[in-house]
Amino acid sequence: MSELKTIQVPDIGDADSVEIIEVLISDNQQLSIDDSLITVESDKASMEIPSPVAGTVTSVLVKPGDKVSAGSDILVMAINDTNDHTATEAPAQDTTSAPAKPKTNTFDSDAYDVVVIGAGPGGYTAAFRAADLGLNVALIERYESLGGVCLNVGCIPSKALLHTAAVIDEAKHLEKQGISFAEPSIDIDKLRSFKESVVGQLTNGLKGMAKQRKVTVLTGNASFESNTAVAIESSGATQSISFKNAIIAAGSQSVKIPGFPYDDERMLDSTRALELQSIPDKLLIIGGGIIGLEMGCVYAALGTKITVVELSDQLMPGCDADLLKPLQQKLSNDFEAIYTGSKVTKVEAAKNGLTAFFEGGKAPATEQYDKVLLAVGRSPNGLKLNATAAGVEVTERGYINVDQQQRTNVTNIFAIGDIVGQPMLAHKATHEGKVAAEVCAGKKSFFDARTIPSVAYTDPEVSWMGLTETDAKANGVEFEKASFPWAASGRNLSMGSKSGLTKILFDPNTKKILGAGIVGKNAGELIAEAVLALEMGADIEDLALTIHPHPTLSETLNFAAEVAEGTVTDIYLPKKRKR
């Protein structure tokens, strides 16, 4: 007959009251000697506590988050007879108190609590949050300038230029209101300096904040040596530093289509396009996604003739058709040509330009352009970090899978931002960075956001959050929709615009808000209210009964909710039942 035995935490050195971060057993599980029972984490190491005997788990007495010390009960086990043999062979050893086997090495006394690889929005946020929580942090970045893609060659420089583009466009449209300006004269060097000054202000600000927080910034290319050490290579010299926890925030890079003439400086990616070296007469943009269209809006306002070619049947694939319509209309006016359902098969460098060869749609067979911008997506940098040396699994495409605490398959290594998957957006990266830092500091943080909003800062802007109609239809999700056309918005009309739309998707039974989409001026700012409503579990009545200031564009969310309620008075809906 098997004997029941309570298995306890053995002597774990000088670590008292350590936290259980993982329970690796469940009821009725068969265990052999040395099978891992729980993982605990002290300030020195994470370690797995092995089973001292073989048998069957009858009840688990602990859960993640519990604090345990030597002698704390872990589980009750029905002991196998085979344990007798072990007992007679080694009678002097009390197997129930065998020393725990550290999973990772005991850390060097100079090991950083947290090493962050990559100083983009994910990485610097994680580093700063970890430092604010009292941890000793190193932030490794291969470039001198902190801020990653977003601050240096992404979100910020593109928005600086998009603002300029929007002002040029607005000035042109004032003609209808009797105000005419001369054609703008563009000093590209000054414009570039303005963009660079915005970037510089923010990236220098990061340097200052790193200093204030006593975060050690190390410049160089990081690669893993093990699950506790990372090598940093800079100008041929390599230094090694050790860590208790690492956060991978190494981001992504532009996808390249093989065979295009990348050595030719007229062949651009978004980084080169943002350098604003010159204003081409004719620019071909391959890829009609958000980045391609934003760059198109910038260069179109500066006077370039833009052609966009997109493989899918619509621009910004995945965006709802009603939101896309006003943008498509505007771009059809502002751009030279838009070819959807088409692709570029080849680009050849010629003396007078780059010759593009098209296939499909209404695109011509060939056409020559001064420059070509490739904007067909971004791929994660996971395969460039020697992550296997740390035991971190990386997918074939370079993504690193994580759990809701941003933890990889290796207990003390986390990953955040573009490298963990879509959507590749800065605000997702920063949120994940905070979660990872807080978990490193022992907090019970999780990534449990209900939605991550998307914004195209085009002219007009398009934003959406939560459920989209496209996804709802594809997945058979039941929803009702209420829309408010901006042609009835006093604020929109007073700004000289007639187009724009705000829509809300909601649950037909509970009336809870499921999603929202906006197209029009400042759509990127306006969507935040809908995100808050979704996070708060608001229903359509909450939005309809919230008093919004008048006249504002924010009212359009209120009016759309009133459309759903049948209480709207700013438009006439003859068929809607009135309350």
Give the interface with ligand FAD as residue ranges (CB under 6 A): 117-123, 140-143, 148-150, 154-155, 158, 221-222, 249-252, 270, 291, 381, 384-385, 417-418, 424-427, 429, 457
Least Cβ distance, residue 4 to ligand FAD (angstroms) = 50
Amino acid (one-letter) located at 42: S
Evaluate whether 325 touches 353 at the Cβ level (below 8 Å): no
Considering the complex, state which of residue 376 and residue 426 has its C-beta at the smaller distance from ligand FAD: 426
Considering the complex, state which of residue 49 and residue 295 has its C-beta at the smaller distance from ligand FAD: 295
Least Cβ distance, residue 113 to ligand FAD (angstroms) = 19
Considering the complex, state which of residue 435 and residue 543 has its C-beta at the smaller distance from ligand FAD: 435
Least Cβ distance, residue 386 to ligand FAD (angstroms) = 9
The pair of structure tokens assigned to 443 is: 């907090």
Amino acid (one-letter) located at 539: D
Considering the complex, state which of residue 156 and residue 501 has its C-beta at the smaller distance from ligand FAD: 156
Least Cβ distance, residue 520 to ligand FAD (angstroms) = 17
The pair of structure tokens assigned to 436 is: 């990872």
Least Cβ distance, residue 425 to ligand FAD (angstroms) = 4
Considering the complex, state which of residue 270 and residue 412 has its C-beta at the smaller distance from ligand FAD: 270
Q: Clarify whether 550 is annotated catalytic.
A: yes
Considering the complex, state which of residue 413 and residue 424 has its C-beta at the smaller distance from ligand FAD: 424
**Residue 117, CA distances (Å) to 143, 238, 243, 344, 416 in order:** 12, 15, 12, 36, 10
**Residue 444, CA distances (Å) to 20, 132, 196, 249, 439 in order:** 12, 16, 39, 21, 6
Give the rounded distance of the alpha carbon of 215 from its chain centre: 23
Evaluate whether 233 touches 340 at the Cβ level (below 8 Å): no
Considering the complex, state which of residue 207 and residue 384 has its C-beta at the smaller distance from ligand FAD: 384
Q: At what angle do helices 155-173 and 188-212 cross, to 10 degrees?
A: 140
Evaluate whether 402 touches 393 at the Cβ level (below 8 Å): no
User: CA 274, 279, 284 angle in degrees (round to 5)?
Assistant: 80
Phi, psi dihedral angles at 370 (to 5 degrees): -70, -40
Evaluate whether 314 touches 287 at the Cβ level (below 8 Å): no
Least Cβ distance, residue 272 to ligand FAD (angstroms) = 11
Catalytic residue among 85, 173, 548, 550: 550
Least Cβ distance, residue 152 to ligand FAD (angstroms) = 7
Please give the Cα distance from 115 to 137 (Å, whole number): 6
Amino acid (one-letter) located at 82: T
The pair of structure tokens assigned to 389 is: 């040396």
Considering the complex, state which of residue 124 and residue 484 has its C-beta at the smaller distance from ligand FAD: 124
Considering the complex, state which of residue 339 and residue 457 has its C-beta at the smaller distance from ligand FAD: 457
Phi-psi region of 96 (alpha: psi -120 to 50; beta: other; left: phi over 0): alpha
Query: How does 115-134 read in b/e, with b if 16+ C-beta sit within 10 Å?
Result: bbbbbbbbbbbbbbbbbebe
SS3 call for 487: helix
Please give the Cα distance from 454 to 524 (Å, whole number): 8
Least Cβ distance, residue 104 to ligand FAD (angstroms) = 21
The pair of structure tokens assigned to 456 is: 């195209």
**Number of Cβ within a 10 Å radius of residue 310:** 25
Least Cβ distance, residue 282 to ligand FAD (angstroms) = 21
The pair of structure tokens assigned to 260 is: 């295009």
**Number of Cβ within a 10 Å radius of residue 469:** 20
**Number of Cβ within a 10 Å radius of residue 258:** 5
What is the Cα gyration radius of the chain? 29
Catalytic positions are 550
